């Protein structure tokens, strides 16, 4: 996978947001409150490189130290509001993640929510949160990861994941969530977001079929879903990338009159060689190979990385290297300097067609 002679040179050193915007594509990244509020150097770099900010934790029901929904009748928007202020100050768009998900639920959820009140709880959450940011959001991940992690082994014909929402409300909870969201903020782009559709493995192919099946059912019902979010958590050591099959999947999604956003992109390097130069070349190659295929599809309107700098990445905690070396999955290194991965993104934007 490592080609020492591969060329990652670029013709124009401009911020990624400008290179993407030149082709009518949005580039951005996720970040957490403390990163943009307390780290001035990182905040300046983020404002320079990105055109959209996604709060990584602060708009989930509960994540880390942040409790958007600390109790059934209480909401705390303080952290997310501060991030919105940062975005508006720096002319960044704001994107919401995520309204309905089976993870990041607060402790009270299990004790309080049941078959009788689940619809009311979900409706109250979507209306309150989207209403608070009405007219100020580029897009929302309305439903996140509703398809089974292993659709091959799923016991359901529709391959829906066994979640509290499915248990309490049945499969129509997805349609219901989007209809509530469309009323709460008619101007926001409403996204179904999921992972595991990037490669040509049996599991990923099954996940693609299941995601397409879900989107087709939603469109048939008239559900106001506007886009598919593809997380694109990629693996530096995977040999199962097949451009032809990925292109076809993207075409099938676009044929449903849906936009496509790459929503959480990074490249896991935990299994790659220790040598940093080799590792960075492989990671950059994965970025460029993937984006050269994805950006060929005109329906793809955004590329968002899950973090901007290796200084702040969830992979450090959840997928550390066995040799204890720092992970390097993102465009910028821990010193906020561009890596070959940055070049790969820049090249992909420069070489794609204008939307």
Catalytic residue IDs? 145, 264
Question: CA nearest 105: which of 76, 139, 81, 70?
Answer: 70
Coil, helix or strand for 14?
A: coil
Tokens 């049996």 belong to 202
Q: Which residue, among 218, 101, 74, 95, has the nearest Cα to 164 in the 3D structure?
A: 101
Rounded to a whole number of angstroms, the CA Rg of the chain reads 20
Half-sphere exposure of 224 (CA within 13 A, CB side): 18
Distances in Å between the Cα of 166 and the Cα atoms of 42, 59, 115, 170, 251 are 40, 22, 10, 5, 29
| E strands in the chain | 26-31, 52-55, 93-100, 139-144, 189-194, 227-230, 233-235, 259-268, 300-305
How far apart are alpha carbons 246 and 252 in whole angstroms? 10
How many angstroms from the chain centroid is the CA of residue 297? 18
């Amino acid at each position: 996978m490592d080609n020492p002679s591969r060329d990652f040179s670029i013709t124009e050193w401009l911020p990624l947001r400008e290179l993407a915007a030149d082709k009518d594509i949005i580039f951005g990244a996720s970040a957490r409150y403390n990163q943009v509020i307390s780290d001035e150097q990182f905040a300046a770099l983020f404002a320079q490189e990105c055109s959209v900010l996604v709060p990584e934790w602060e708009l989930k029901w509960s994540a880390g130290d942040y409790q958007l929904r600390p109790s059934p009748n209480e909401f705390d928007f303080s952290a997310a509001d501060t991030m919105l202020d940062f975005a508006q100050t720096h002319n960044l768009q704001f994107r919401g993640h995520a309204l309905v998900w089976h993870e990041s639920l607060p402790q009270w959820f299990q004790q309080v929510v049941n078959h009788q009140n689940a619809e009311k709880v979900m409706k109250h959450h979507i209306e309150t949160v989207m209403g608070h940011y009405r007219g100020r959001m580029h897009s929302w991940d309305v439903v996140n990861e509703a398809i089974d992690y292993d659709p091959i082994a799923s016991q359901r014909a529709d391959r829906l994941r066994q979640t509290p929402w499915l248990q309490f409300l049945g499969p129509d909870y997805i349609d219901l969530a989007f209809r509530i969201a469309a009323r709460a903020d008619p101007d926001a782009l409403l996204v179904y977001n999921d992972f595991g559709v990037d490669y040509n493995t049996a599991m990923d192919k099954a996940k693609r079929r299941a995601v397409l099946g879900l989107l087709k059912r939603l469109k048939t019902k008239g559900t106001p879903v506007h886009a598919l979010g593809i997380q694109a958590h990629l693996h530096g050591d995977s040999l199962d990338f097949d451009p032809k099959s990925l292109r076809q999947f993207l075409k099938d999604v676009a044929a449903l009159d849906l936009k496509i956003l790459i929503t959480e992109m990074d490249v896991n390097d935990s299994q790659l060689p220790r040598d940093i130069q080799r590792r960075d070349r492989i990671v950059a190659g994965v970025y460029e190979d993937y984006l050269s295929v994805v950006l060929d599809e005109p329906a793809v309107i955004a590329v968002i990385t899950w973090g901007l700098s290796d200084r702040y990445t969830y992979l450090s905690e959840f997928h550390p290297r066995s040799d204890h070396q720092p992970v390097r999955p993102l465009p910028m290194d821990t010193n906020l300097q561009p890596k070959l991965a940055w070049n790969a993104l820049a090249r992909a934007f420069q070489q794609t067609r204008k939307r």
